[in-house]
Structure 1
Amino acid sequence: MSVTGDDSAPTIRVSADTPDRTVVLEAAEAAAEGTVSVLSVGPTGSPSSLGLCTIDGTTAFHATPTPEEAFDLVTALAAGDVSTDAADAVVEHDPEIKTLPVPDSGPLSVGTRQILGPCGWIAPTETPRPTADEHEPDTIRSRVTAAGLLGRGRADGARDASVSDLWERARNASGDPVVVVHAADTDAPADELLCQGAAGHVLDAASIVADAVGAPDVVALASDGASEPLDAVESEVTIRTAPASFRVGEPTMALEALEGSDRIEARRRPPGPEKWGLYGRPTIVHTPRTLLQIRALLADDTASVSDTRLFTVRGAVSTPAAVELSSNCPLSDALDAVETDGDRYVIGGRFGGVTETLDVPASAPALEAADLGTEGVIEVLAPDDCVVATVGERAAFAREENCGRCVPCREGSKQLHGALREIYDGDFDADGLRTLARVMRTTSLCAFGAAAARPIRTALDAFEPEFRAHAEGRCPTGSCEGFR
């Protein structure tokens, strides 16, 4: 159930994260009787605020409202009361605001909300656009070039590389370009969140990119959770639901999925997708994170736009949270949005780097220099999580999930997993593991194989004594006791 009312009327917003959401919406609508706008919104990124009541520039945040509480909140709104006394937070703001008003404290106050801004505030299908002048292709390209924008996520065709350079190669290639919205990376929860919270903005940004590169059409490949909100937007974009596979996160494997290939495997490069992509056409592949960064650059007040990155903090935390950090902020700032007693981390998703410090700026160059992943995930390990077991599980995943197209990844992942198992038998060859990891990183066909050895590589650098302890029959955390 989704009801969109008059923005000027008293409004209750019910987040996608709300328990029993449908029942809560029905209760709210039953109490509204046309005097209150009931708006079904996407997730905010933090489940600490699931019901938002607004009147004339005052918004009260209510965590996990029950149907009964929703009925009472709407009844109070109809009488002109925003119910601030029972609220978890109250924010005064411009009545015409188009982004979520941020409380002074709590998870939502952490970082910034430049890209996350609409999530949890607008109807996901809403598609307001910048002014017509800013849609001129030359203007779009020049702004993206001047900003030095880099692609976000392994699913992006310009992953940690220049977006404008990618566009230029596609424009100079033979054939009509096509833009692909890649929202199907199972390792990137922030992309799905953006689709659920601002699907209209995502597809609008894709249309802007199509204008910039002269692409006559746009196609979206989305996860189950992202495809429904994207499909609900009134647009000419073709929406396809992707198979639930980690490997589809690689751009060329995503194109294989779109083309209906029986076997999903990486394509050889060169040429890259921007020259020979979907059905042989020049193809621009962008994630929702990249697309909304582009859209932010074209907003009216461009002077306020900064370079930010989205991170999902999960693992040994009280409640996962999505946090947007400016590129010069340390990753440690993201922990302010969660409760945890963990002090070791995997940065960058399934094949992220293992570390005990978050004193690293959130920018892609800084993360790469620290040999940490740039996928936008901060996974907190619990105090009793064994580092050796953690990287072993990821090596097993790489062995099972690689596409098998290239030898370094296919055979390297098998050897990597086997070498880690041998540690439990007392055979630990640190130099051999490092050499194998280096070969996989430098010779694999795609990013899957290049990244698959990162967990073991970084874990060895930071925690080599724990590997040696396992070879001696002892797990420092106690979680692997009795393995010999």
Structure 2
Amino acid sequence: MREQRGAIGQSPTVRISSAATPAPEAVLDVARETATDTHVVEVGPVGVPRFDPLAVTTADGTTAFHTAVSPSDVRLLVDTLEEGESPTDGAHAVVSHDPEPATLPRPDSGPLAVGERVALARCGWVAPVSVTDYEYEFSAELVTTTTGSDEAFDRLAEVGLRGRGRGDGSTDDPVAETWTTVREAPGDPVVVVNGNEADENARMDSLLLESVPIDVLDGASVVASALETPDIVVYLDESDTLARERVEQAAGAIDRDVDGVDLNVQVASGPDTYRAGEMTMALESLEGNDRLEARRRPPGPAEYGLFGRPTAIHTPRTLAQVRAALASPEAMETDETDPGTRLLSVAGDVESPATVELPTDGSLKTAFDAVVGDGQFKAACVGGVFGGITRDIRVSPSAGALRSSNLGTNGIVERLNDDRCMVAFAGKRAKFAREGNCGRCVPGREGTKQLLELLREIYDGDYNRGMIEELARVMRRSSICDFGQTASRPTTTAMSNFDSEFTAHTEGYCPAGFCEEQAATERRTEPRRPGSTAHE
């Protein structure tokens, strides 16, 4: 990727954004070839994949958003900018603003208007590895250089910021408590940024790493300073090539351009498998173990983590909140015990997914305003692969509210339409648990196997809800990691909300019509026996 220059303070400017991979070279090449006075900058994604490639033009206090642009489209946009005009014709949205905003100007409607943009404020606006763009926001340097280690610790302890994501060492718990444990443990501490998230619906962490890696590293350096260590390890999955490239370049830019920050940032990759993101298996992967198994606790990573060192392991989402708590303390003001915002990826039965940011005292229902549903709404699975099923999405995204509703907090909200069979959905998640568990503990290894068998028996006419619920209780209480503790949640919450569907399947009837259609498809595609004359 070309060395990036800053985008902020340059006008006229066209920003080219695309997720997962660098923006199409053809679009960027045409924009650069056409531009003379126009600044062309490659930026990170904004969290709305259907917009990509997104061209954001800015001139004279007017920003226009042009979605799904082609090389010929971007040539016309740049030509218009070169003529001294703002290309607003055909734009998805047009925003008037102060001459040089430091964050993405937000339209009044559409996906970018949904919720808030605190952690996401600069996504799609700054050059991802430009320290100049970062400093423009605060007229200063990184937050870690303007806030003392004890001051940062005290402020975050007072705020009560909680960890975000299944791979965090402080998931849904105050991060300051974990840091206290790390501080008091013997040995040299280390900070691990756990960005390995193989759930294809979870775009929150990769969005931050691809768009604003300096924000994430700034949050990590705050933690490192509080723990009096220079060592930061960023852990990604092996398919995150763009995120890795940008994190490495961001670390180099900080080392080169920022005074007073002495960090030792290493970037490592692990398997692109779901279990590799669990915090103790992430550590096993970083230590080079081929067979990933969850570690028994106690001691936890805060006492005995990476290579035996006291370890603060946090997701990019958590570290973005750490930075926001120090840079924008007003964003933490809430009556909730879970201050700040939560990033949510909305997926499932939608025309295209989107990632939004909601205040913790808001409502999950708001997130659906960022997508177009595919089919009539039936339910939502909240919290990722092992999230909970609910009919009612008028729930706040705070950790307390989600847990009390038996929903997950990993930040994925899957919209399920009325064609979905809840028995089949629960069975698919149980099968994933059976095949994907690490095998270390009996509840995770044998419990997931028994759960899948009990669900299969429903199709044979035997629905033993009491036995399933008792098995789920044992798995929740006895499994040694989050994988086994939550693996039964899709099944138990589906039974609670759609018990009649489970009962109907014992009588050979699928209310959604999915199972009969699936069986018919399998019969049509099943290879015929040699010599058979049956119709396909």
Deviations 1:156-186 (A, max 9, x none): 0000111000000000000110000000022
Alignment match, 1:289: 317
* Aligned counterpart, 1:28: 31
Q: Does structure 1 residue 333 correspond to structure 2 residue 366?
A: yes
1:302 to partner: Cα distance? 2.3
Structure 2 residue runs without a partner (length 5+): 135-140, 256-263, 334-339, 521-536
CA contact (8 A) 1:126 1:201 kept: no
Q: How does 1:330-369 map to 2 (within 5 A)?
A: 330-340=363-373, 341-369=376-404
Within the candidate set 212, 225, 228, 1:198 is matched to 212
Aligned to 1:43: 45
Map residues 374-389 of structure 1 onto 2, 5 A cutoff.
374-389=409-424
1:277 matched residue in structure 2? 305
Cα distance in 2, alignment partners of residues 343 and 57 from structure 1: 43
Look up the equivalent residue of 1:60 and give its one-letter code: A
Distance 1:132 1:406 in 2: 41
Asked if 2 retains the 8 angstrom alpha-carbon contact of 1:180 and 1:220, the reply is yes
Percent identical residues: 48
CA deviation vs aligned residue, 1:82-101 (integer Å, no higher than 9, x gap): 11123221111233322211
Question: Counterpart amino acid of 2:26?
Answer: V
Residue correspondence of structure 1 range 175-194 to structure 2 within 5 A: 175-187=187-199, 188-194=202-208
Q: Is the 8 A contact 2:16 2:23 kept in 1?
A: no
Corresponding residue number in structure 1 for 2:478: 443
Q: What residue is the counterpart of 2:530 in the other structure?
A: none
Secondary structure in 2 matching 1:480: helix
Secondary structure, counterpart of 1:209 in structure 2 = helix
Distance 1:186 1:303 in 2: 33
Whole-angstrom distance in 2 between the partners of 1:292 and 1:5: 21
Distance 2:100 2:190 in 1: 36
Q: Distance in 2 between matches of 1:262 and 1:135?
A: 40
Q: Does residue 97 of structure 2 align to residue 83 of structure 1?
A: no
* 2:275 paired residue among 229, 247, 250: 247
CA deviation after TM superposition for structure 1 residue 424, in Å: 0.5
Which residue of 2 is the match for residue 14 of structure 1?
Answer: 16
Judge conservation of contact 2:234–2:267 (CA < 8 Å) in 1: yes
In the other structure, the counterpart of 1:323 is: 356
* 1:431 aligns to 2:453 (yes or no): no
* Conservation of the 8 A alpha-carbon contact between 1:426 and 1:470: yes
The alignment covers a number of residue pairs equal to 482
Q: Would the aligned equivalents of 2:44 and 2:210 in 1 still touch at CA under 8 Å?
A: yes
Q: Are the counterparts in 2 of residues 179 and 283 from structure 1 also a CA contact under 8 Å?
A: yes
1:311-369 CA-partner distances (Å, limit 9, x unpaired): 00001101100010111111011011111132311100000001111011110100000
- The equivalent position to 2:113 in structure 1, one of 109, 113, 121, is 109
Tell me how far apart the structure 2 counterparts of residues 37 and 436 of structure 1 sit (CA, whole Å). Answer: 61
Change in 2 beyond 3 A, CA 1:378/1:431:
same
Query: TM-score, normalising length from structure 1?
Result: 0.96
**Equivalent position SS for 2:495:** helix
Residue type of the alignment partner of 1:303: E
Alignment of 1:160 with 2:172, yes or no, is: yes
Runs of 4 or more consecutive aligned structure 1 residues displaced over 4 Å after TM superposition: 130-133
2:457 is the alignment partner of 1:457:
no
Give the C-alpha shift of residue 455 in structure 1: 0.5
Distance change in 2, residues 1:5/1:434 (3 Å) = closer
Distance 1:383 1:474, change over 3 A: same
Using the alignment, how far apart are the partners of 2:301 and 2:22 within structure 1?
41
Code of the residue aligned with 1:330 in structure 2: it is S
Instruction: Give secondary structure in 2 for the equivalent of 1:53.
Output: strand
Q: How far apart are 1:133 and its partner, in Å?
A: 6.7
The amino acid across from 2:230 in the alignment is P
Structure 1 stretch displaced more, 181-190 or 47-56 = 47-56
1:228 and 2:245 correspond: yes
**Which residue is equivalent to 1:302?**
329
**Structure 1 position 285, deviation (Å):** 0.3
Q: What SS does structure 1 have at the residue aligned with 2:514? A: coil
Structure 1 stretch displaced more, 21-30 or 216-225: 216-225
Question: Paired residue for 1:150?
Answer: 162
SS of aligned partner of 2:268? strand
Write the distance in 2 (CA, Å) between the matches of 1:369 and 1:441: 15
The offset of 1:19, in angstroms, is 10
TM-score by length of 2: 0.87
Mapped to 2, the partners of 1:20 and 1:215 lie a distance apart of: 36
Equivalent residue letter for 2:329: T
Question: What CA distance in whole angstroms lies between the structure 2 residues aligned with 1:189 and 1:258?
Answer: 22
- Aligned-CA RMSD value: 1.7
Contact 2:157 2:176 in 1 (8 A): yes
1:232: Cα distance to partner?
2.4
8 Å contact from structure 1 (residues 4, 38) kept in 2 = no
Q: Which amino acid aligns with 2:404?
A: A
In 1: Cα distance, 2:167 partner to 2:453 partner: 29
The answer to whether the Cα contact below 8 Å between 2:324 and 2:331 also exists between their aligned partners in 1 is no
Residues 18, 49 of structure 2: 8 Å contact kept = no
The 1:304–1:312 alpha-carbon spacing in structure 2 relative to 1, beyond 3 Å, is: closer
1:125 and 1:20 map into 2 onto residues whose CA distance is 15
Give how far 1:56 is off.
3.0
Deviation at 1:21, TM superposition (A): 1.7
Q: Name the residue aligned to 2:57.
A: 53
Q: Is the 8 A contact 2:144 2:225 kept in 1?
A: no
Paired with 2:308 and 2:129, the residues of 1 have a C-alpha distance of 31
Per the alignment, residue 208 of structure 1 pairs with: 222
The Cα of 1:130 is off from its aligned counterpart by: 4.2
Deviations 1:172-204 (A, max 9, x none): 000110000000022332111111111121112
Structure 2 counterpart SS, 1:469: helix
User: Quick check: 1:169 aligned with 2:181?
Assistant: yes
Cross-structure match for 1:396: 431
Matched position secondary structure for 2:350: coil
Which segment drifts farther, 179-188 or 406-415? 179-188
SS, match of residue 343 in structure 1: strand
Q: In 1, are the aligned partners of 2:386 and 2:490 still within 8 Å (CA)?
A: yes
Which residue of 1 is the match for residue 532 of structure 2?
none
What is aligned with 1:258? 286
